[in-house]
Amino acid sequence: MPAVAAAAGELLTPAASEVAQAVPDVDVDAEILWEVPDVVASVPLYAWLAGEAGVIRTLRRHLVAERGLDRRAVAFMGYWRLGQADVG
């Protein structure tokens, strides 16, 4: 998380944080966190994050809700859940 927060601080302009967006909460124990939006040409940054679902949920909220990165410019994939066996 600290590395992503630092990179977002360097790459996003202060104006971006003024348009923070609401992020629907996802229960990563019951749902898959998976969102691959269309890239918007006018966004300053495109983020692609994948990993443990709880960590990805935290990073998603930080970038979109706290830093104001356009939600359409962030792809999130919570592939697994810590402590949960893969039954697929």
DSSP the chain: -HHHHHHHHHHS-HHHHTT--------TTTS--EE-PPPPTT-S--EEEEEEHHHHHHHHHIIIIIT---GGGEEEEEEE-TT-----
Q: pLDDT at residue 85 above 70?
A: no
**pLDDT tens readout for residues 34-57:** 776 666 666 667 888 888 988 988
Q: What percent of the chain has pLDDT over 90?
A: 2
The model's confidence at residue 80, banded by pLDDT at 50, 70 and 90, is confident
Is residue 78 in some structural domain? yes
Instruction: Quote the domain boundaries for residue 72.
Output: 1-7+29-83
Is residue 18 in some structural domain? no
Is residue 24 in some structural domain? no
Q: What is the mean pLDDT of the chain?
A: 77
Between 73 and 37, whose confidence is greater?
Answer: 73
Is residue 40 in some structural domain? yes
What total number of domains does the chain contain?
1
